[in-house]
Structure 1
């Protein structure tokens, strides 16, 4: 297993744990909104610096 695959697995696992934690706390809506904003910001930054 390469380092990149392992790192990708760790990020995916962390995201899954965050989702589970937000369900337990009852803050799923906040998490979804923050992830959407983060994704939009990332796309905008990518276009800006491309």
Structure 2
């Protein structure tokens, strides 16, 4: 259970770092579009393979 908490924290921090990097490079719009596409794809696949 401790490993899952560590992994979750690492993934959250990585997501924040990528968002900060997108702000610095000026590609926030592209980042938002990719995250929205990933969420939509994940939901569709989740429904297909339920």
- TM-score scaled by length of structure 1: 0.97
Aligned residues: 50
Quote how far apart the aligned CAs of 1:48 are: 0.2
Unaligned residue ranges in structure 2 (runs of 5+)? none
Moved over 6 A (4+): none
RMSD between superposed Cα atoms in Å: 1.0
